[in-house]
Chains A and B, each alone.
Chain A
Amino acid sequence: MNYCITMRKSPIIKIAKTLLWIIGFLLIVVGGLYPIKNRDVLLVVDIDGETESIMVTAEEMQLLHQIKLPYSGSETTGIKEIRFYRHFTSLCISKISMEKFDEYAYIDGNELVFNENTLKKMKELSTSVISERLLYVEVILAGIILVWILLNALDEKINPKNYDNHGPIYEIKRFANDLVKYQEYIIFSARADLKAEVANSYLNRLWWLLEPFFNMLVYVVVFGKVMGRSVENYATFVFSALLMWNYFSKTVNYSVKCVRNSRDIVTKIYVPKYVLLLSNMVLNFIKLLFSLLVLVVMLIVFQVSVGNAVFWVIPAYIVMIVLSFGVGMIFLHYGVYVDDLAYAVGILLQMLMFLSGIFYEMITALDAPLNEILLCFNPVAVFIDTMRNALLNNRVTNVPLIGVWLILAILLSYIGIHNVYRNENGYVKVI
């Protein structure tokens, strides 16, 4: 442990970092303003799980007055919804639900005919490329952070003393070692805490199942019967999303108070502070598993048929968990120093909850530019949308967004770990 700090970064790295900022900024400006030519739009009709699609190019849109699709039935009952895609076939940009079907199309013999309204909508979609632009900005941001960390790693390699054991290579190694060292504690402590929560109660461990079960009942009654006629299986729709949201919000909420709550440990022994957060995350994960069990029962009771796409629930959950760790680590650090952060985070999370499309579907419920912007910049909305589509509609969605957020979540976690390693030895003096 050497605490003498002599920071002298090599000038090449300094220049490279300045260049990185300039290039990154330019790329974002250019990407944001570059006149992209009108895109082709893919129109997909969902008929009882089967899809019928037609690609309409930007030029055709100007010429055509109507679009025809072969359709065998004479009634519209089989048709679930009409979706539009631009460049990414997993990134749905707009939807027409069945209630508004008559405005956009009619059945003529063996054909499904889409009228001018549809074409007008498609033209609008073709000129706006907001979600592609936002995705591009996110990729550039991730790139800048990644290169920044790589530059630091290079600097650390050239001159290890500069970083005083806070360079990326050292920290990642240390993180891996600590994880191995403390994994027994993390898991054991999560289980013990879980047990302690119900230790006094009469029904004891049964509560782990009873709590999500009664929660589910509330949603079935309130959202299934009283509200929600527009979405199929509204109770499942809300319940599955809330499970995911609750995990995220619990983790972030806990992280703010994490170090203060663990005063007993922190003031008596050295322990990497994220161990405390991880232990709580494992605890919540065990609870989540019980809730998921209830969800499975719910799916069986409501006879939701599940297909291959259901496996996309797993990556959605994994990225969500990594991101909640990353966000949690950043709040963990500031929560130590700033007293009122707990209130602020509570309010922010509540606002975010209603912007995450738990009670509604983002694409259909909100207007054109807003829904795409929210879906791109609110990661929780992306995870919920992907998870729910995979589970209830057997459809793979938002693949590029999940990919970008995975990278961003890992980078955010690294920044959080770096921040905490750098400052954790000062925490005891403050709490």
Chain B
Amino acid sequence: MYDNLALEVQHVSIDYRDLTHMSLAKSLRKGEVRRANVVRAVNNISFSVNQGEILGIVGRNGSGKTTLLRSVAGIFQPDEGVIDTHGNRVSLMAIGIGFNANNTGRENILKSGMLLGCKMSYIKEHMDEIIEFSELGDFIDRPVRTYSSGMYSKLSFAVTAILDTDIMLVDEVLSVGDEKFRKKSFKKMEQLMQSDRTVLIVSHATNTLEQFCNRVLWINDGQFMMIGETDTVLAAYNESMQL
């Protein structure tokens, strides 16, 4: 499609250390920390995404897809390798960033919009659009704690779908809401495909990926398996999934 790169990931490895809940006494003895178990969630993965391209990432549960996506979003730093976003703004589409249950839907839209790096004036301009997309109607001025879980997810999907960021990362959230809303989200995704937005979708549902992606990356147990045309990669992936 386009030639200029939007995102480059080079030889990225990410470790998890087993030191979740440390006590003060243990942390004083630093040696304990160093000897913690290290789990390599992502191992030496490289790929690049062009401007306006939609890349799917496929793999089994626990294969490191979400971890990879999070580090692209800048939430945490890879232990080895380089992630270059070429100055693009990246946002991870996730449910309810920074939502406070006692605030109204409108306040929460502003809050999570600003966390995504948008200006208050910009969000206010798009407020009506977001509210319309979320199908919440009068509920928008009620506290979020009164929402059903479906309404909650609709609202948070609407925020990230409408507010523009250059690179959008989607982590299996396309299945939120009822049938009608799901169709709407799919339509929105198709719109994004036509626009200049770069999208990374993580899923293990291959039909979603078939529908949207230009290319697909397959990872298994943190290891790079293959990257290429959607059909080829998904065929190989499905084959490996056979019992």
Contacts and interface: CB of A to CB of B under 8 A. Distances in A.
Nearest to B27: A338
Interface stretch (B47-55, B79-87, B133-141, B186-194): B79-87
A3 B85 CA distance: 13
A364 to B, nearest CB: 38
Interface string A1-28: 1111000000000000000000000000
A428 interface: yes
A68 to B, nearest CB: 60
Contacts of B102: 195-197, 199-200
Interface in A239-280: 262, 264-271
Given A185-B111, A189-B111, A270-B73, A1 B85 contact: yes
Contacts of B16: 429
Contacts of A176: none
Contacts of B94: 268-269
Nearest to A344: B24
A269 B72 CA distance: 10
B75 interface: yes
A89 to B, nearest CB: 45
Interface in B81-112: 81-85, 91-92, 94, 96-103, 107, 110-111
A1 B73 CA distance: 12
Interface of A is mostly: helix
Residue from A185, A344, A427, A428 with most neighbouring chain B CB atoms (10 Å): A185
Given A3-B77, A265-B98, A428-B75, A271 B115 contact: yes
Interface in A172-216: 181-182, 184-185, 188-189, 192-193, 195-197, 199-200
A184 B120 contact: yes
A2 B81 CA distance: 8
Contacts of A339: 21-24
A97 interface: no
Given A3-B82, A264-B96, A338-B27, A269 B91 contact: yes
A264 B100 CA distance: 10
A171 to B, nearest CB: 16
A340 interface: yes
Contacts of B74: 1, 270, 425
B150 interface: no
A35 interface: no
Contacts of B148: none
Contacts of A195: 102-103, 107
A7 to B, nearest CB: 16
Interface of A: 1-4, 181-182, 184-185, 188-189, 192-193, 195-197, 199-200, 262, 264-271, 337-341, 344, 425-430
Interface of B: 16-17, 19-24, 27, 70, 73-78, 80-85, 91-92, 94, 96-103, 107, 110-111, 114-117, 119-120, 143
Given A264-B97, A337-B27, 19 more contacts: A1-B82, A3-B80, A188-B110, A192-B103, A192-B110, A193-B100, A197-B102, A199-B102, A265-B97, A267-B75, A269-B97, A270-B74, A338-B23, A339-B22, A339-B23, A341-B24, A425-B74, A426-B76, A427-B76
